[in-house]
Amino acid sequence: MGCQTEELPLENTARSPHNGGRFHLEDGFLKNVALSLCACVLLASAGLAAPPSAPADKGRVLYKWVDADGVTHYGDRIPPEYASQEQHIINSRGIEVGHLDAQKTAEQLAAEDQKRQDAAQRQVRDKNLLSTYASVQEIERLRDQRLTLLADQIKVTSLFLENLDVRMKKLRADSMRFRPYSTDPKAPPMPDQLAEDLVRISTDVHTQEQNLRQKRGEEAAMSIQFESDIDRFKELKHIQ
């Protein structure tokens, strides 16, 4: 802040016969100058210490929104049917001073929640990889061990299925001598034990076929998972 002082005429000074022709300022003049300087300093200090003034624009604000047809609207308030959409708050100078995101749908919220869960799972997976393995070779050894174990289980299940198929073929051949499978009208009814064996072996075949499909699925998924773990471990360890 600038400060101006009033200029005083030389007539307000008196010549002193004791100072060799120099002017000697009166006491009143000195006091006026000192007071003026102090006032300027105080005013300047007050100007520097004062907090920034509040924005001059405290008046009207407008809301900006887009309707269902894509047309942009401005108004003092947003119609209720658009209250859940994205909103922009604009002051009288046309400057955006606020923004409200559109309310998210249940599908969007679910997708965001799933995204957060996936990120958390990736973080846990990375931590486990780094704390469990020291090298790529360790992961490969564990992969080979587990895949070998699954391969053995698949082999055993396959052999069991082959035996069941052989037994089923024999039981079906035997059942052809009895009603209702025999075409001979004089054929005796099927013995209860044979009927029970047919049902039991058929159930066993179905169960073992499911087990075989499951084991083969586990084998494929495990192979993919280990390859993914190896790639991620290389990425985390910066291994080419």
Of the candidate ranges 18-22, 151-155, 209-213, the one whose mean pLDDT is the lowest: 18-22
pLDDT over 70 (residue 42):
no
List, in sequence order, every beta strand (DSSP E) within the chain: 14-15, 23-24, 61-66, 72-75, 87-91, 96-100
CB distance 72 to 97 below 8 Å: no
pLDDT over 90 (residue 63):
no
Number of neighbouring beta carbons within 10 Å of residue 139:
20
Of the candidate ranges 69-73, 135-139, 177-181, the one whose mean pLDDT is the lowest: 69-73
Of the candidate ranges 16-25, 151-160, 172-181, the one whose mean pLDDT is the lowest: 16-25
How far apart are alpha carbons 147 and 228 in whole angstroms?
A: 15
- pLDDT for the residue 69: 81
pLDDT tens for residues 178-226?
Answer: 999 999 999 999 999 999 999 999 999 999 999 999 999 999 999 999 9
Question: What's the chain's average pLDDT?
Answer: 78
Alpha-carbon distances of 199 from 142, 172, 178, 193, 226, rounded to whole Å: 41, 11, 16, 10, 41
- pLDDT for the residue 73: 79
DSSP state of 134: S
- pLDDT for the residue 47: 41
pLDDT over 50 (residue 131):
yes
Number of neighbouring beta carbons within 10 Å of residue 215:
19
pLDDT tens for residues 95-120?
Answer: 877 777 766 777 877 888 999 999 99
pLDDT over 80 (residue 85):
no
DSSP three-state, residue 204? helix
5-9, 108-112, 141-145: range with highest mean pLDDT? 141-145
* Strand-pair partners of 64: 74, 88
Of the candidate ranges 36-50, 95-109, 168-182, the one whose mean pLDDT is the lowest: 36-50
- Residue 233's Cβ-count burial label (10 Å; 0-12, 13-18, 19+) is buried
Q: Mean pLDDT, to the nearest integer, of 127-148? A: 96
How far apart are alpha carbons 191 and 188 in whole angstroms?
A: 9
More confident residue, 87 or 1: 87
pLDDT over 90 (residue 23):
no
- pLDDT for the residue 97: 73
- pLDDT for the residue 102: 64
